[in-house]
Amino acid sequence: MQEIYKLKILINTFILFLAVTAPCPADSKIEGTNDSQPIQITLKDIKWLVFSDTKHQEERNLIIKANEKEINEAERATGKKLKIFIALKDIDEDNTNEIFTYVGHSEYCSDKGNCALTIYKVTEDKIENIGPTITPYIPIDRPGHHNLIGIINTQTLNHADIIIGSIICRWRGNRYEAL
């Protein structure tokens, strides 16, 4: 009995040691290159987007209308309703939010997630996909999704730089591209 008590104390001490000595997530760094220039970003430099499958109904209706054929086909194929996850953020300083979206549905994601992210720019007469062609790991059916997709406090050509997972994306004049 005394050995079990000593073992519990040893395990708790080890866990406490790990908690105290672990690096602070806010100080974690993401490193890479941008056009041959080194980049170093800390997690403090990122504003993470929070996605919702219930808020932003007006924007959700725009996405559904723009992708009506594909959505109908996907729902018919599986007999399941699509969940459209949306986050809004103005990334080009025009005082209009761009729509970050992905669909939680087996026709758009693998069984483990990996849902395709799309970024839409909405103007008076059209909705345009301006996002990079990246399929980040995004879990299906878990609203919120903190620390997966964020806005970095740097800009390229007057557009906010974006981070998707650990991939940095920059504006290239007509759409975002991964570095």
With cut-offs at 50, 70 and 90, classify the pLDDT of residue 99: very high
- pLDDT tens, position by position, 67-94: 899 888 888 888 888 888 899 999 999 9
The Cα–Cα gap between 118 and 136 comes to 11
Q: Domain range for residue 56?
A: 26-178
12, part of any domain: no
Residue 9: inside a domain? no
pTM: 0.72
CA distances from 119 to 8, 12, 66 (A): 50, 46, 13
Q: Does residue 44 lie in a domain region?
A: yes
- Number of residues written out for the chain: 179
Is residue 6 situated within a structural domain? no
Taking residue 68's Cβ as centre, other Cβ atoms within 10 Å add up to: 10
How far apart, in Å, are the Cα atoms of 46 and each of 39, 102, 161, 165?
14, 20, 10, 12
Domain count, the chain: 1
